[in-house]
């Protein structure tokens, strides 16, 4: 479950605490000033309040915080502050991800920023599982698989449109509507199959990927991010440099 915390009151926190579920919050800043630049007014307060209520009601599920990294929150002080929020509320995992260009983020990470993030993480002394470097099997898009083996993280918009993952925002990537289609029809329907086929083939149309030694490992990266950055799914997603560093670190560990 992905939440911005705004609808979690004491009653809902009590209800959620009865179930062994995963809840993810997105916190981009350790204080309201930084966080609300991208998450919106009162977002920080809503999420901290939700975490307080879940703790008060002895929530036993898995809590995860996601932080979108961009030019204005990429500092030791900010990342350390978010780690401290995780520690305070017993959040077990912190995902640090490069921001995907959209209405909130226009200044995405540069290649020179990736090593800076790694340096910040290395300085932190915490039991929180900070995930920034990815395992090789995680490089490919989750949708770049046989349909029967995909673990979908569907996004449902306010009007009921369903998208194959939370990063696809454009209407053309809608695979159905919960008010008009069954879940089975949405997942196994022609619209979803066409998007999955498109994702599996896109690397073949990107010369930089066909020439890359790692091309078969990541299959051109995130298609949604490529579309957000370039308005074209048949482009690279902008994270090639980061993945190559991760590949290098992975192989160094094998030596």
CATH number at residue 97: 3.20.20.70
Are residues 9 and 119 both part of a single domain?
Answer: yes
Range of the domain at 235: 155-253
Across the strands, what pairs with 93? 64, 129
Q: What percent of the chain has pLDDT over 90?
A: 38
| pLDDT, the chain, mean | 85
| pLDDT at residue 202 greater than cutoff 90 | no
149 lies in a domain? no
Pick from 20-24, 186-190, 247-251: least confident: 247-251
172 lies in a domain? yes
Are residues 96 and 35 both part of a single domain?
Answer: yes
Q: Say whether pTM exceeds 0.85.
A: no
Query: What residues contact 168, with CB distance under 8 A and at least 6 apart?
Result: 155, 224, 227
Task: Give the strand pairing for 2-3 and 22-26.
Answer: parallel
More confident residue, 200 or 45: 45
Return the CA Rg of the chain: 19
142 lies in a domain? no
145 lies in a domain? no
Number of structural domains found in the chain: 2
72 lies in a domain? yes
pLDDT at 104: 60
| pLDDT at residue 144 greater than cutoff 60 | yes
Are residues 31 and 129 both part of a single domain?
Answer: yes
Q: How confident is the model at residue 45 (pLDDT cuts 50, 70, 90)?
A: very high
pLDDT at 169: 81
* Tens-digit pLDDT profile for residues 81-119: 999 999 999 999 999 988 776 656 666 676 778 788 888
């Amino acid at each position: 479950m992905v939440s911005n915390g705004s609808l979690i009151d004491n009653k809902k926190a009590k209800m959620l605490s009865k179930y062994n579920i995963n809840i993810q919050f997105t916190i981009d800043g350790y204080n309201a000033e930084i966080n609300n630049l991208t998450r919106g007014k009162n977002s920080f307060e809503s999420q901290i309040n939700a975490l307080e209520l879940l703790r008060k009601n002895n929530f036993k599920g898995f809590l995860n915080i996601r932080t979108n990294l961009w030019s204005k929150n990429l500092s030791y002080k900010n990342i350390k502050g978010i780690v401290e929020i995780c520690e305070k509320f017993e959040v077990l995992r912190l995902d640090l991800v490069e921001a995907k260009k959209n209405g909130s983020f226009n200044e995405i990470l540069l290649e020179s920023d990736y090593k800076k993030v790694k340096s910040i993480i290395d300085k932190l002394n915490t039991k929180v599982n900070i995930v920034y470097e990815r395992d090789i099997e995680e490089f490919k898009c989750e949708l770049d698989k046989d349909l029967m083996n995909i673990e979908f993280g569907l996004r449902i918009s306010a009007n009921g449109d369903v998208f194959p993952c939370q990063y696809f925002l454009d209407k053309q990537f809608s695979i159905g509507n919960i008010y008009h289609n069954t879940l089975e029809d949405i997942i196994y329907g022609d619209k979803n199959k066409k998007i999955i086929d498109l994702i599996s083939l896109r690397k073949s149309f990107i010369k930089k990927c066909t020439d890359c030694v790692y091309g078969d490992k990541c299959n051109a990266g995130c298609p949604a991010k490529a579309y957000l950055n370039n308005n074209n799914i048949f482009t690279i997603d902008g994270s090639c440099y980061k993945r190559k560093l991760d590949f290098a670190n992975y192989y160094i560990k094998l030596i």
